[in-house]
Amino acid sequence: MRIALIEPFFTGSHRRWAEGWQAHSAHDIHLLTLAGRHWKWRMHGGAVTLAEALLALEQAPEVIVATDMLDLATFAALIRPTYPQVPLLLYMHENQLTYPWSPTDEDVRLRRDRHYAWINYTSTL
């Protein structure tokens, strides 16, 4: 089976998990990734860049697996005209609904922006 694994935050445990699954799977897993930095931007903008990368593949995937760092709703809207029947699966490596906020995060100090949890929520729908 051809699986496209979409990981916008390809570093640390995210990278180890993706590469481990690829190395130990009997399936053909193609990694589409972005560098593991600027996690907030990856959650907002990664869907556009990674949808373009998926649409540029020579072979269509049979399944698309995306991690929680992707705005899957936006990604799906961008790829569905080309891949209307390919199943989309969401792997929640972690989530922004329950992930502890960093005390140094400006969003905490300013008491704003739970949008990242909203992205995770809409990705599950």
Residue 13: the pLDDT is 96
- Which residues touch 7 (CB under 8 Å, ≥6 apart)? 14, 15, 18, 31, 32, 33, 34, 66, 67, 69, 70
Q: CB neighbours (10 Å) of residue 23?
A: 8
pTM, full prediction? 0.88
When divided into structural domains, the chain yields a total of: 1
pLDDT number for residue 111 = 67
Q: In what order do the strands lie in the sheet with 63-67?
A: 28-35, 2-10, 63-67, 88-91
- The CB-side HSE value for 57 (13 A sphere, CA atoms) comes to 22
pLDDT value of position 114: 74
Domain carrying residue 68: 2-124
pLDDT at 112: 63
* CATH code of the domain in which 86 resides: 3.40.50
Local mean pLDDT, 10-residue blocks, the chain (125 residues): 98 98 98 95 95 98 98 98 98 81 74 80 92
**Per-residue pLDDT, 102:** 74
What pLDDT shows up at residue 28? Answer: 98
